[in-house]
Structure 1
Amino acid sequence: MSLVSVGQRIGDRLHAKAAVVRVQIEDRLDWIVIAWLIIAGLASAVRIAFSPAGQPFGVETMLPYALLVFAPAASLVLALRWFADGDRQPQPRFRLARIGRWTEVERELARKHRLYGAGGIMVSLMVGMLVAVPIRALEYFGSMPAISGPVPAWLSVLHTMMTLDVVLMTSLYAVAFVAALRHVPLFPRLLAAIWGLDLAFQLVTAELVARTAGLPTEVANPLQSLLDGNVKKVLISIGLWLPYLLLSRRVNVTYRSRIPA
C-alpha cells in the first residue's frame, strides 16, 4: 500500500469524523443554548455570592452577568434566523482575498463541488469559535468581581470595559459560528473584522485603565498580563486561520463560489 493511499484513507476518516461532529453540533444547537443558559447562570450566581461587597447587590451588580448569560445565546438564536438563507446571500462586489488562482463559478455549480460545505478543517474553526464563548466567560468570572455601590474610578472603568468586551465578543463569535455553519459568503470577512475588533478592545481597555488615576500596582500588573494574553491568543488565531481562510479550496468553493483555476 502506497503512502499516497494511506494518506488518502486517513484524510477520508478525518473528513468523516468532522462531518459527524458538525452534524451533531447542528442537531444539538437548542440543547447547547439551554446548557449555556443554565451553566452560565449558575456560574454568575456563584460569582456574585462569593464576591466581596460593602452593601447589598443592586442592578449594577446583576446587569453585567445577565448580559453575559443572555447576549451570546440571543445572538446565536437571532443569527440562525438572519442566516436561514445564508448560502443564497449574494457574493460581495469586491474581492479582498486575491491570493491564488481561482475561477468564479455559478452558485449552483459550487454547491455540486465535492468540497462544498462547512466540513473538514472548517469544523475545527467552527468548534473553536463556539468554545471561545465559555472560555471568555470563564476569564471574566475569574478576573472581575461583582461590584455594588460606590467604587474607585479605576475599578469602574475596568469593570465596564471588561464587561463590554466579554459581552460583545462572545456574541460576535456566536454570530460568526452561525455564519460559517450556514455558508454565508461574508463569513471570512466577518471573522477577520471580529479579530480586528477583539485586538482593538484589548488595546483600548489597557489605555483607558492606565489613564485612570489610582490604579494599584497589584492590579495593574496582573491586568497587563491578562490583556497581553488576550492579544496573543487573537494573534495566534489569526496566524493559524487567516492563511486557511485565504487559501483553502473548501473555503473558496463554499463561501466565495470559486474553484481552483
Structure 2
Amino acid sequence: MTIPVVFSALGLRMQRIAIKYIESFEYKTQALVRFFHARMDGLILGWIGLMLLASLPRILFPATPVHGMQDLVEVMLPYGCIAIAPILGYRLAAAGFPHAPLLQRGGSRRFNSGKWRQLDPHDARMQADFGPTGFMASLMVGMLLNVPFRAMEFLLAVPAMNSNAPTWGTTIFHIMAADVCLMSFLYMVCFVLALRTIPLFPRMLAIAWGVDIAMQFVIANAVAASPDLPGDVAMAVNDLLHGNVRKVLISITVWLPYLLLSRRVNLTYRQRVAIA
C-alpha cells in the first residue's frame, strides 16, 4: 500500500471518528437541554437543601456573639437571600418568557444586512442548528454552576457576622452577600433566556458580565472606606476581588467570540445566517 493511500485511509478514519464524536456530543447536549426543561424544580429543591446544609455551620457558629433573636436574624438573613435570589431570578424570567415562544426580531420580514441574512422566526426554528445545544449547552451549564460556586466561595471566605462585629466586618459580610445575590439572580435570568432561545440572551449576558466586574469595584471601595480595616483583611479581600474579576475576564475571552461568530448562536438568538 502506498504512502498516499495510507494517509487517505487514515484521514477518512479520523473524519468518521470526528463525525461520530460530534453526533454523540450533540445528542448528549440535547438530552441535557431536555433535562433542564423537565427537572428544574428538582434542581431548585436540591439547591435549597445544599444551602441549608452549607450555611448551617456558619449560622450556628458565627464569628460574633448572638445575644438574642435580632442578632440571629442578622446572621441568617444574608444566607436566606443568597438561597432565594437564583430561585427568584429563575421564576421571574420563566414567567416572563414562556416555553418556545414564536419570537420576532424587527418584525417577520426578511432582509439582508452586511454579512448576514435575516430569517423568519419560523424558518429559523426549522434549521438543524437551531436551539441551545452543542457548545451553547456548555455555556448554560457554566452559568448554572456559577450560582453554587459563588455561594460556596462566600461561605468559605466570609465568616457570619451581626451588628456586634466591627463596621468593616459587617460591611464585608453584607456587601459580599449582596454581590452573590445580585449575580446569582442575573446569571439565572441569563440561563432561562438561553434555555428558552430568547433573542435578548446575548445582550443580557454582556450586561451580567459588566455588572459582575463593576460590583467588584463597588465592594473594593466600600471595604476600603470602612474604618479601622486590618491590613491582612484588606489584602485577603483584594485577592478575592482580583480573582473574581479574573474569572469574569476569562469567561468573556472564552465565550464572547463564540457568541458573536457561532452559526448556532446567530441562528438561535438573532434569527440570521451568514451570507455565503
TM-score range for the pair, normalised by the shorter chain length: over 0.9
Correspondence for 1:40 among 41, 48, 51: 51
Look up the match of 1:225.
Answer: 239
Distance 1:227 1:143 in 2: 11
| 1:85 CA drift (Å) | 4.8
Look up the match of 2:110.
Answer: none
5 Å matches for 1:164-179? 164-179=178-193
Contact between 1:86 and 1:185, CA under 8 Å: does it hold in 2?
no
Look up the match of 1:211.
Answer: 225
Deviates more, 1:243-252 or 1:34-43: 34-43
For normalisation by structure 1, the TM-score amounts to: 0.92
Contact between 1:48 and 1:145, CA under 8 Å: does it hold in 2?
no
Look up the match of 1:96.
Answer: none
5+ unaligned residues in a row in structure 2: which ranges? 1-8, 108-112
Secondary structure class of the residue paired with 2:202: helix
Distance 2:216 2:101 in 1: 33
Equivalenced residues, count = 256
Report the residue type matching 1:144 in the other structure. Answer: V
> Is 1:131 aligned with 2:145?
yes
Look up the match of 2:159.
Answer: 145
| 1:30 CA drift (Å) | 0.9
Distance 1:21 1:68 in 2: 26
Distance 2:134 2:106 in 1: 24
| 1:47 CA drift (Å) | 1.5
5 Å matches for 1:37-116? 37-56=48-67, 57-85=71-99, 87-91=101-105, 101-116=115-130
Structure 1 residues 230 and 155 mapped into 2: Cα distance closer, same or farther (>3 Å)?
Answer: same
Distance 1:92 1:72 in 2: 31
How far does the alpha carbon of each residue in 1:13-47 deviate from its partner, in whole angstroms, 9 at most, with x for none?
11111112222232211100011011112212222
Deviates more, 1:169-178 or 1:207-216: 207-216
Distance 1:87 1:185 in 2: 11
RMSD: 1.8
Asked which structure has the greater CA Rg, the reply is 2
Higher relative contact order (CA 8 A, sep 6+): 1
Structure 1 residues 104 and 245 mapped into 2: Cα distance closer, same or farther (>3 Å)?
Answer: same
How far does the alpha carbon of each residue in 1:105-147 deviate from its partner, in whole angstroms, 9 at most, with x for none?
1101101111000111000000000000000000110112211
Look up the match of 1:29.
Answer: 40
For normalisation by structure 2, the TM-score amounts to: 0.87
Contact between 1:75 and 1:171, CA under 8 Å: does it hold in 2?
yes
5+ unaligned residues in a row in structure 1: which ranges? 94-98
Report the residue type matching 1:211 in the other structure. Answer: A
